[in-house]
Amino acid sequence: MIIFLYGQDSYRISQKLKEITDSYKTKNPSGFNSVGLDLAENKPEDFFKAVKSDSLIPEKKLIIVKNIFNNKNQPESILEFFKHQEVSKNEDAILIFIHYGDSLKNKFFEFLTKKPSQFQNFKILKEYEIKNWAKSFLDSFEIQLTGEALDCLISNCGPDLWRLDSEIRKIANFKIKGVVSKSQVEGLIVSNREHNVFDLTDALLRKNKKRALSALYNAMDNGGKPTELLGLLAWQIRNLLRFKTGAASANLKLHPFVLGKLKESAKTFSIEELNKFLHKIIDLDLAFKTTDINEKTALSLLISEL
């Protein structure tokens, strides 16, 4: 059996994948025949080996493969493998392919989106669909929001279901009695200003420059100006320095979520690294104000140099 999950909505893909794997674990509790592969790191040969290997016990195989279109040669080699193995007719194995992106024009994509394969495209939800999803998720926690509060929540999170999930769970953790008001939501959720900078810092902490640059461009696509984002980075680094040099949490006067992120960041950066980064930010800020430097390019280079 082949299952293909693709589309721009990584949250709903992950939820569908969890649904399938949970069902598999119920019927195949040992988990010995479950394999996860990422073709950004693994080779197609690892996939071929997993498919052809004998099962350790009499349970179905579950093979999950991500980033299947990471290399243009990989899909072709997998498709050629399928032609000789009749994998799609094998009822003893469940093969799940994941693609975080839109439709592609190649033979392997066409193969995965034709019967007998089971496939589903997870598109970004429309505004009314996001509102319905949020209401349903709130109901699962027995939480009610006023219309204004719900609009406030969604306007801050947009189509990002990962963030909506996080913010709704945060509201649930506070166990507010009665209907939650707009002012209560505003007091709990993280503002777009803080969220943008932590998208960047989270990626940088993992030393994932590609993801950090993607977060930077996403912030600018959503109206963030390079000068503003540079200021946010400076604000974050200064808070980190204050925390690292012994400032009490109460004196920082930060949102609990922001403070939690600050503590995580403090474990990764040394004071020397923070000072060096802050000096680079200050130099770039001066260049923004006194030269005709391309702000977007300069900010991208700053992140690339970390």
The model's pLDDT over 184-234, given as tens digits with 9 standing for 90+, comes to: 888 887 655 566 566 776 777 666 788 888 888 877 876 778 887 888 778
In which residue are the tokens 């990962």 written? 162
Among 173, 176, 180, CA closest to 147: 180
Q: Distance between CA 199 and CA 214 in Å, rounded? A: 9
Q: What is the pTM of this model?
A: 0.64
DSSP sequence for 224-245:
--HHHHHHHHHHHHHHHHHHHT
Q: Which residue has the higher pLDDT, 267 or 29?
A: 29
User: E strands along the chain, which residues?
Assistant: 2-6, 34-38, 61-66, 93-99, 118-121
Q: What angle do CA 18, 170, 261 make, to 5 degrees?
A: 90
Q: Which residue has the higher pLDDT, 58 or 66?
A: 66
Q: Where in the chain is the domain with CATH 1.10.8.60?
A: 127-188
Burial of 47-74, coded b for 16+ CB within 10 Å and e otherwise, reads beebbeeeeeeebbbbbbbbbbbeeeeb
Span 192-304: which CATH code? 1.20.272.10
- Kindly indicate the confidence band of residue 113, based on its pLDDT and cuts at 50, 70 and 90: very high
Q: What is the number of alpha carbons within 13 Å of residue 111 lying toward its C-beta?
A: 18
State the chain's mean pLDDT as an integer. Answer: 82
* pLDDT for position 15: 92
pLDDT in tens, 225-264: 888 788 877 877 887 888 777 765 556 666 555 666 677 7
The CATH topology of domain 127-188 is Helicase, Ruva Protein; domain 3 (1.10.8)
Instruction: Pick left, alpha or beta for residue 123 (phi over 0 → left; psi -120 to 50 → alpha; otherwise beta).
Output: beta
Q: Where in the chain is the domain with CATH 3.40.50.300?
A: 2-121
- Kindly indicate the confidence band of residue 64, based on its pLDDT and cuts at 50, 70 and 90: very high
Q: Which CATH class is domain 2-121?
A: alpha beta
Long-range pairs for 122-127: beta carbons < 8 A, 24 or more residues apart: 122/5, 122/6, 122/7, 122/8, 122/9, 122/10, 122/12, 122/13, 122/16, 123/7, 123/8, 123/9, 124/8, 124/9, 124/159, 125/9, 125/159, 125/161, 127/154
Q: Are 52 and 44 in contact (CB under 8 A)?
A: no
In which residue are the tokens 């007719």 written? 89
Q: Where in the chain is the domain with CATH 1.20.272.10?
A: 192-304
